[in-house]
Structure 1
């Protein structure tokens, strides 16, 4: 019987069914812990979550603003670059035009200097030719009078007569040479 009593006592104390005072104490402890968590911990958790959400949204807004600003800076940079390229092209064209004008001026100056040098050379040649012709006339005249004097046997040293005769003789020779041309 004692085994039977033991089985009956065990049935009265089922480990799966708790006793009523334990259930009440457990529920009371659960309500206190839940109340503490709801009053103290839950607002802090919500506050931290809200701050993180705001930080993330603010970061996204800042990133959008930075991207918009970067896009506008990029557009300004592209506009400045296009303007700089246009200005460089204009300056290059202007430099080419100035270079062509300078080359043209230098050619004209060179042509003018060449013509001056040629004219000076012609004038010098003409002066040298006249000087040589005059010296030649004098030498030919002297030689002719000396030769004529030797042929005639008398001195033909009268300078005025000699000069007139020689000049007349040379002028006749020149006239004949020009007529032959």
Structure 2
């Protein structure tokens, strides 16, 4: 699929009609299919095609992608086998909703961070950030009402929430298209 389809993405609120967004998403998925299709014949070339699709700064974006994957894995693990102390404190339904927020935020973030779809990644950051704050509040509550030290757990949870807030600040004012200028390039 030619690059001209990837360059026609919603740039202003007027361009974000459902038809334009759907057309752009289908063109992007088609381009990803071309990259995957090339990987069977030319793995190195397919890697470089994929690498140039990743949003700048590429190394940071890949790290954020793996962070979202870890968040999704943790939420899916808690959906399958929730922690007993948190489930007893919050309840079964609240623990399910908290785990679903982690899974949803992680999936949205992982899917949208690599191509630079910042306007969609914001939802993943918000969902994951609110889930981390709720989970941190539960850990503080459990630390105050039960025996044991939960300071390490609370510090890691709030560190994660701060990193998600940093990612949110990074992407919130970005334009809808990929940013490839001197302010965000790692090469230049």
Q: TM-score, normalised by structure 2?
A: 0.21
Normalized per residue, which structure has more helix?
1
Q: Return the index of the structure with the highest Cα Rg.
A: 1
Higher relative contact order, chain-length normalized (CA < 8 Å, sep 6+): 2
Q: TM-score, normalised by structure 1?
A: 0.22
